[in-house]
A = this chain, B = another copy of it.
Amino acid sequence: MSSTYGEIFRIHTYGESHGGGVGVIIDGCPPSIPVSQEEIQLELDRRRPGQSEIVTPRKEADTAEILSGIHDGKTLGTPISILVRNTDQRPSAYEEMAVKYRPSHADFTYDAKYGIRAPSGGGRASARETIGRVAAAAVAKKVLASLYPGIEVIAWVSTIQHIQANVDPATITADQVESNIVRTGDPLVVGEMIDHIKKIRSDGNSVGGIIECVIRHCPAGLGEPIFDKLEADLAKAMLSIPATKGFEIGSGFQGTLLTGKEHNDSFEMREGKVRTKTNRSGGVQGGISNGEDIVFRVAFKPTATIISTQDTVTETGENTTLQGKGRHDACVLPRAVPIVEAMATLVITDHFLRQRALRGLP
């Protein structure tokens, strides 16, 4: 049951990194939403390997095939099944991994959990699994565009290790993010970030960083009190992305340094609407959107794959060393930007339809 996300707009992903392919079923998608294969492919291309000089050079076309649920460019209301075939399989590159646990990968924990493990690559733990999420979110994006035009979900690289971008969540555009291969929103640090990733990669090392995301023009009233708070579902969605270690919304961890008098967001009427003067809440109060920008940040640890010799143990419990090799992402953040957007889009779409069940369209 772990491969399902959503209550109404519900997605089910499947697939190992090696095998027939990876994919997704979307169940609960409203009918008559216009969606084309090209729109889905566009999002997949943003996350696929080999897209630029700073990501893994693996050649994976990641071509989406729509198996069901869409006809003549429109959703039928029935399950939408999307399949992406695996193509670039080089099991030989993974032979050593089959018997030695890669540090900070999921090899050992999968064995601990299942007592059996896909013999090569990351298996189900591969980031390749996120293909299904991105494809599903491409459809969700069209649902929102049809039912509530104007909602925008934009993520960008906020930091790469110590290098910080300076970006205003209120004004950043998707084009600005896509204009550079590192997918940051600050032109002043693009060069430095790219150079740093290249240097780290040439060292056989890796880095992480922070991705920030804004959801703009979200109606007030989304999110459910108690367990399915909007921020709780966003937190879960983000921490479900491989390599993530933290989530904060609005003032986040820094907000703990303020007093209540400094932190509270006063209300005021603006253009006939109830608005907050500040946005330390990050667009949610009591688990429900308040109509302000929803702003959150996600921490990504440095990629676990490094080209270096590391201590580890074998499946049979002997100390050994593992020599990293092969193609890897020295920094996953540029490719993780569309994944963060995808998960945020899925959360919002699901809560949007939940709210429609409760009270009709906002």
Contact = CB atoms under 8 A, between A and B. Distances in A.
A3 B226 contact: yes
Contacts of A242: 286
A171 interface: no
Contacts of A249: 239, 245-246
B161 A257 contact: yes
Contacts of A66: 20
Interface stretch (A41-49, A113-121, A148-156): A113-121
Interface string A108-152: 111011111111000111000100000000000000000000000
Does more than half of chain A's interface fall in helix, strand or loop, or is it mixed?
Answer: mixed
A2 B20 contact: no
A192 B164 CA distance: 34
Contacts of A313: 267-269, 274
B28 A311 contact: no
A260 B210 CA distance: 15
Interface stretch (A54-62, A69-77, A181-189): A69-77
Contacts of A114: 31-32, 76-78, 358-359
A100 B347 CA distance: 30
A306 interface: yes
A67 interface: yes
Interface in A196-236: 200, 205-210, 220-229, 231-236
A106 B252 contact: no
A67 B19 contact: yes
B239 A245 contact: no
Nearest to A13: B226
B317 A103 contact: no
A304 B124 CA distance: 43
A232 B236 contact: yes
A116 B2 contact: no
List the number of copies, as a whole number: 4
A116 B248 contact: no
A257 B162 contact: yes
A2 to B, nearest CB: 3
A83 B239 CA distance: 30
Given A71-B119, A266-B312, A359-B31, A112 B221 contact: yes
A299 interface: yes
A361 interface: yes
A287 B240 contact: yes
Given A1-B8, A247-B247, A266 B310 contact: yes
A67 B13 CA distance: 12
Contacts of A264: 103-104, 304, 306, 310
A90 to B, nearest CB: 17
A25 B25 contact: yes
A302 interface: yes
8 contacts: A3-B225, A14-B67, A16-B78, A21-B67, A32-B114, A109-B284, A247-B248, A266-B312
